[in-house]
Every structure is written in C-alpha cells, then in structure tokens.
Amino acid sequence: MKCLVVDDNSLARAILVQLATRVPSLEIVAECDNAMDAWQIITAGNIDLVLLDIEMEAMSGIELVRGLKEKRPIVIFTTSKPEYAIEAFELNVADYLPKPVTPARFLQAIEKAGEIMKSRGQKVVAADNTFLFFRDANIIKKLDVADILYAEAMGDYVKLFTQDRFYAVHAPLKEVETKLPTALFLKVHRSFVIQVGKIDAIEGGTIIINKKMVPVADSYRNQLNKRLNVL
C-alpha cells in the first residue's frame, strides 16, 4: 500500500515512518506536517493509506477527512487525546491509534487497512434470502447471508462482518441494505445494519455482536425494541 504520513510533530512523524518502513506491504510515498499539503497529495491520487494526526494547526485531521469527497484513501487516525474517538468512529476510518503508538498496535491497524485494501473493488451484484453475491474484479463470489453479523458504512464502501473476517464492498449502505432480507436484518444506526439473531447483548445504547460494539441511534431504538423478543 502506498502510504502518506501526516503529523505536525516531527518526532511523532518520524516514529510512524520508522514503524511503517518495517512493514513490507507499506511504501512511504510522502510525509508532511500539515493537512493542506496532505490534501494536495491525496487529491493528486496514488495514495492508498494515510496515517493522519488529528490535532494540527489551520486544519485538523478530522476536517481533512470530512473534506475528502472523492479519492478518499484508507485512513488511520493517530492522536494523544481519546475524546476524538467517537467523532473518528463516525467518519468510518480504518482505525484509531492512541499515542504513543506501540509496534503491536500499529501492526494491528495496518492489518485492518490491508483487509480493506484487498477487498476494495468488490461490489454487491445480487442477493436472495440465502446468499449474497458480490463482484470482486472479474469474479463473482458468494457469501452466505446467515454468516453476516452486521454491515458498517465506511465512506463509499460497506464492511460486511462475519465471525472471522470482513468484506469491503464498493457500494452505499442503502444499496447493501436492500439486498439483505428484512426478516433477518435491521438498521440500528445510519452507519450500521445488524442481523438481529446475532445479538449477544445490549448495554444501554450499544449492541454487542461477536465481542464487537455497535451503536444504536435514538431514532432506531423503537424499531429495535419491537423486533426483540424480550422476556
């Protein structure tokens, strides 16, 4: 993956570059210390992954991502402040790395980005009540609908999570939702559609599926309550 490192702290930027150079799948194309230069590099194309600091002068990393309407690469946020986590989560970035970034946590984030990268180019093409089909390059692959735990919107893509992995398909969540059987699936947030039967627990405004947390928006809570067979 062609990688861009963005951080206004030279030491933090050097650490990220050093970690990235240890990963054979990453190629550092450029590094910069501000979001404006990063925007120019990204919009010029040829960037697959951005390691992006959130807190920067003039334009923050979050503002940069919000401004990328087209040619948005995979984004991994880095920051020393955990309060940005919710906002970053809503932007559907690949991961959120707290500083100081450790090698183990860095590799975990890169693995997530790699899975997204490998799945880009997949597109949902058909579905019935049993299978969902998606196009991956020139190959049409089949995915058992019963294996899908939930779908998460991520910019121009949707991640379909199963027990062991996820598939990233190039389609809006609305399109994917129409191809999932309504008898099994329910939208619980503008960015999430879940398989109701896969819910392990609900704690406050959070659904737990396969040890993953999925938020429930207030506007969808009544629909969820109607679908649950609560004793």
What share of the chain in percent tops pLDDT 70? Answer: 93
pLDDT band at 21 (very low <50, low <70, confident <90, very high): very high
Q: In whole angstroms, what is the distance from residue 74 CA to residue 52 CA?
A: 10
Question: Would the pLDDT of 137 be above 80?
Answer: no
Average pLDDT of the chain?
Answer: 88
Rounded CA-CA distance 75/44 in Å is: 16
Q: For residue 96, is pLDDT > 80?
A: yes
Domain ranges of the chain: 2-118, 121-227
Q: What pLDDT does residue 213 have?
A: 93
Domain 2-118 fold: Rossmann fold (3.40.50)
Q: How far apart are CA 28 and CA 7, in angstroms?
A: 14
The whole-angstrom separation of Cα 39 and Cα 195 is: 37
pLDDT of residue 48 exceeding 90, the answer is yes
Residue 120 has pLDDT above 70, yes or no: no
pLDDT at position 69: 72
pLDDT in tens, 188-198: 999 999 999 99
Q: Is the pLDDT of residue 210 over 80?
A: yes
Token pair for residue 202? Answer: 């609900």
pLDDT at 124: 64
Contact 130, 117 (CB under 8 A): no
| Helices 103-119/10-21 angle, 10° precision | 60
Which is more confident, 189 or 154? 189
Residue 231: pLDDT band by 50, 70, 90 thresholds? low
Q: How far is CA 179 from CA 71, 145, 155, 158, in A?
A: 26, 10, 19, 13
The pTM (predicted TM-score) of the whole model is 0.62
For residue 169, list its beta bridge partners.
Answer: 122, 158
Is 176 in contact with 194 (CB distance < 8 Å)? no
Q: What is the DSSP letter of 219?
A: H
pLDDT given for residue 40 in this prediction: 93
- Rounded to whole angstroms, the Cα distance separating 58 from 63 reads 10
CATH classification code of 121-227: 2.40.50.1020
